[in-house]
Structure 1
């Protein structure tokens, strides 16, 4: 049975509420008390038995300090409920009306320009900010991410390990602009990784401090450069704060005959095309592409991609021509059954051991061989597992290789979970059958699994932390489940080219 857009919007609100409540370590009863509601009411809203009200959404937003996320989910639900549309002549609401008090920082307008200069890419981000919170804002978080080969994560990770992005080459500049009066902004590094930088832009410089006070506005602008050998043919904007207007411009050499397209993802949908077209104009030998959107949802991602049709030579000689092979296509070529196949949704057949021992051993050998060959395609620093259905084999066998490569792989025959710890955590998982994305999946920190030996006897093995997660993932495969079935409703998948933890172990 399909659900209506209104039902999906209510589900997104409930998921956002639950995510922030659990993130604050509050029970439903504690949250209800802080909001001034009956304890059962929060439970009913999260359980989708009650629809949210404006008063409930405002109080939840203020108590949980959700940076506008809860309130925006409510607005999306309420707009659908009333099927409202603003007349063209009507002015948009002011920030104080648009978001409740205590929301925090709001982006009224963002304009991002990326210019291909020949040897590098020059990026300029301009944001008009409004402080709808109750405290002065003293810093703003900026991010720079590169991915040289976005459709080939293994190759891209290796490239950036050998040629890491550096702060020095970024030539980062930032300023605050108040009615034409400009103040340079100092900055401080937060995260420094091979292909990813996080930077605090500070509302201060050597001469003075200039915080953004509640109820005040300011425009900030920052720019940086990245060499063509590190950038890749894509540019993305992610909506991390409530935003009213977002515009993107790509300024590319016209003589290379660029072709531009885009895609978007959000909390409620997987990747799809941009809802509005990209406009092109030619100006003085440049091909200028413009795209914009109004009221983008929080956590939405808008990705612009391009190729140069007039680029001379071959793909292998000219890195600006994008790789056309998706990560999932490489796995499919390798022989891994991909998401959408009926076999991945069916419970696997149980072995009759020891009668079928030789068949079981043959299947396990094929699984071990596949794992060894997969190392050529991708680094699996967190460990890796593979289940027989992923090779098109409808039998209950899986092999899990621990992160410690010196440890022996775990063979699971006819496995069944018999106990799990009540304590859980959320970590990102990937799947060989769904390799274009990563997803945040809650799993128990300990898992007790009963499984068969070759002679047919049964044994219970206890797994903890990362191994518990790996084993749970493979047992799910044998029961016809994928990790997306375990994700909290409303939590978005992350495209593999945006995932920055490849090659890093899970953290416990």
Structure 2
């Protein structure tokens, strides 16, 4: 017997719920706990034994951050249940397909990158809707360059010597709420050699014009980057709920471009785009277009290309169709042992001090050299540590530096935790030997560590908060553990591309 439309809609809701739950690595019991429901309830909804309720759908949407997908499936079911469906119903708008309080929504984004002899011209156009409860007065945009994306060391050196500047960007921004196009002021937020963050302000010399709840506006901003600072790649990141995203590359046809793409999300590793990039030629230009509807929040879409008419030694960065270099490959490239190596699972050898002082100093010198190199690869705003086993050295030595880069690193020889506070917290940690992910790890807020001096004497040092976490992480390495061994079972790892707190210290 065929099922009714209402039953099919309920099945679609259950399938959408299960897809997002498993994508986040949550069990049914864990999801129910996060939503505040009885542990059996999620199981009953996914098993079609219970029909979804509005409260259940709103909570599931919020907890799983499903970019409106779960909420949309519920609305389809609810409309059929109440007999409100029909061929002439109005299409859903953000106020309907997202739960209240969502905030700013991108109804459509179109991004165009044009290649010319002078460099690259990027134009981003976004149709915004304020689905929140507060007026919006500014909008954050990011500009990142990477001249040699498959050679991070070379790229970092290049941008350090030739930093991107606000002046050369020639940034322009406009708004249009239907009454005409007006310029927008902007203000710098972060200024780094290869990375800029910019606040576009809902104001100009003529006054202020906040985007109030329920209002819509189209903003457009454009900037330029010289060919000496832009490699052959273009990436879009979904940082706000988005209904439609389109990307266009405008490249010289005479250079015979080859274009490919990749995508990542919270629920999947990097893979090819789910739909192909389309090409058509016009007036000597090769136009590549790609689009997607309802992309998941925190998804990233990256297009890359090479010009086949150039000789191999003229290739902009030696990029190949296998995509970008992963974060872990950058660490491996400077000699840091990666997860899976047996040495990371073995306790380190204790130094016999002062007899082995010379060996200990040599190990610490090597750790110090790598610490300097690390600063070229990543902004360690939470502080950074490195243990000897991560360099393939089986000795009980580690360096830990707080978030203040001017501070001297703490040298730990033969350390062990002798006492710790009962108070704990959970924060996301990264690891140089597992740098593609971040994980939520519980740690004590204070630890007392006994460690050796060069002359063999031992002292006890107390560490609190961020330094306690950093030191405990490195001592784990010396005992053959990674931070994943400390995580609560069932809590998913977060891909580094989706981690939102890069550049920010831990919060206490």
- TM-score normalised by length of structure 2: 0.73
Q: Map 1:88-237; keep pairs closer than 5 Å.
A: 93-179=92-178, 181-237=180-236
On the 8 A contact 2:385/2:474 being kept in 1, the answer is no
- Secondary structure of residue in 2 paired with 1:232: coil
In structure 2, C-alpha distance between the alignment counterparts of 1:330 and 1:214, rounded to whole Å = 44
On the 8 A contact 1:363/1:397 being kept in 2, the answer is no
Q: Kindly tell me: are residues 132 and 71 of structure 1, through their superposed partners in 2, closer, same or farther at Cα, counting changes over 3 Å?
A: farther
Residue 24 of structure 1 aligns with which residue? none
Residue 370 of structure 2 aligns with which residue? 374
1:308 aligns with 2:303: no
1:419 aligns with 2:415: no
1:257 aligns with 2:256: yes
Residue 27 of structure 1 aligns with which residue? none
CA RMSD of aligned residues (A): 4.7
Deviations 1:294-352 (A, max 9, x none): 1111122222222333334626xx645449866644654655332244554x3x24758
Deviations 1:154-205 (A, max 9, x none): 4434433333322222112222234583222232333333332222323333
Q: Kindly tell me: are residues 91 and 422 of structure 1, through their superposed partners in 2, closer, same or farther at Cα, counting changes over 3 Å?
A: same
- Secondary structure of residue in 1 paired with 2:148: coil
In structure 2, C-alpha distance between the alignment counterparts of 1:122 and 1:151, rounded to whole Å = 22
In structure 2, C-alpha distance between the alignment counterparts of 1:479 and 1:165, rounded to whole Å = 43
- Secondary structure of residue in 2 paired with 1:409: strand
In structure 2, C-alpha distance between the alignment counterparts of 1:462 and 1:220, rounded to whole Å = 52
Q: 2:66 aligns with which of 66, 73, 82?
A: 73
Deviations 1:73-122 (A, max 9, x none): 385567899999x99x9985222221123322211111111111122111
On the 8 A contact 2:429/2:483 being kept in 1, the answer is no
- Secondary structure of residue in 2 paired with 1:270: strand
Residue 36 of structure 1 aligns with which residue? none
In structure 2, C-alpha distance between the alignment counterparts of 1:128 and 1:103, rounded to whole Å = 16
In structure 2, C-alpha distance between the alignment counterparts of 1:204 and 1:456, rounded to whole Å = 64
Residue 45 of structure 1 aligns with which residue? 36
Q: Kindly tell me: are residues 328 and 70 of structure 1, through their superposed partners in 2, closer, same or farther at Cα, counting changes over 3 Å?
A: closer
Q: Map 1:2-81; keep pairs closer than 5 Å.
A: 5=19, 7-8=21-22, 45=36, 51=42, 55-56=54-55, 70=63, 72-73=65-66, 75-76=68-69
Residue 21 of structure 1 aligns with which residue? none
In structure 2, C-alpha distance between the alignment counterparts of 1:59 and 1:391, rounded to whole Å = 48
In structure 1, C-alpha distance between the alignment counterparts of 2:186 and 2:167, rounded to whole Å = 13
Deviations 1:9-52 (A, max 9, x none): 576699999xxxxxxxxxxxxxxxxxxxxxxx966739967549
On the 8 A contact 1:12/1:268 being kept in 2, the answer is no
- Secondary structure of residue in 1 paired with 2:203: coil
In structure 2, C-alpha distance between the alignment counterparts of 1:466 and 1:435, rounded to whole Å = 19
Q: Kindly tell me: are residues 130 and 335 of structure 1, through their superposed partners in 2, closer, same or farther at Cα, counting changes over 3 Å?
A: closer
Q: Kindly tell me: are residues 349 and 443 of structure 1, through their superposed partners in 2, closer, same or farther at Cα, counting changes over 3 Å?
A: closer
Q: Kindly tell me: are residues 493 and 199 of structure 1, through their superposed partners in 2, closer, same or farther at Cα, counting changes over 3 Å?
A: same
Q: Which deviates the most, 459-468 or 189-198?
A: 459-468
In structure 1, C-alpha distance between the alignment counterparts of 2:153 and 2:506, rounded to whole Å = 18
Unaligned runs of 5+ in 1: 18-40, 62-67
Q: Kindly tell me: are residues 420 and 366 of structure 1, through their superposed partners in 2, closer, same or farther at Cα, counting changes over 3 Å?
A: farther
Count of aligned positions: 462
In structure 1, C-alpha distance between the alignment counterparts of 2:354 and 2:92, rounded to whole Å = 70
How much has 1:506 moved relative to structure 2?
7.6
How much has 1:273 moved relative to structure 2?
2.6
In structure 2, C-alpha distance between the alignment counterparts of 1:239 and 1:325, rounded to whole Å = 21
- TM-score normalised by length of structure 1: 0.73
1:293 aligns with 2:298: no
On the 8 A contact 1:173/1:222 being kept in 2, the answer is yes
Q: Kindly tell me: are residues 57 and 472 of structure 1, through their superposed partners in 2, closer, same or farther at Cα, counting changes over 3 Å?
A: farther
How much has 1:367 moved relative to structure 2?
4.0
On the 8 A contact 1:447/1:468 being kept in 2, the answer is yes
How much has 1:429 moved relative to structure 2?
3.4
Q: Map 1:391-470; keep pairs closer than 5 Å.
A: 391-392=391-392, 397-402=396-401, 406=408, 409-412=411-414, 415-416=416-417, 418-420=419-421, 422=423, 424=425, 426=427, 429-431=430-432, 433-435=433-435, 443-449=443-449, 460-470=460-470
Q: Kindly tell me: are residues 363 and 264 of structure 1, through their superposed partners in 2, closer, same or farther at Cα, counting changes over 3 Å?
A: farther
Residue 278 of structure 1 aligns with which residue? 277
Deviations 1:108-163 (A, max 9, x none): 11111111112211111111122223344333222222223334444434433333
Q: Kindly tell me: are residues 208 and 349 of structure 1, through their superposed partners in 2, closer, same or farther at Cα, counting changes over 3 Å?
A: closer
- Secondary structure of residue in 2 paired with 1:231: coil
In structure 1, C-alpha distance between the alignment counterparts of 2:339 and 2:95, rounded to whole Å = 45
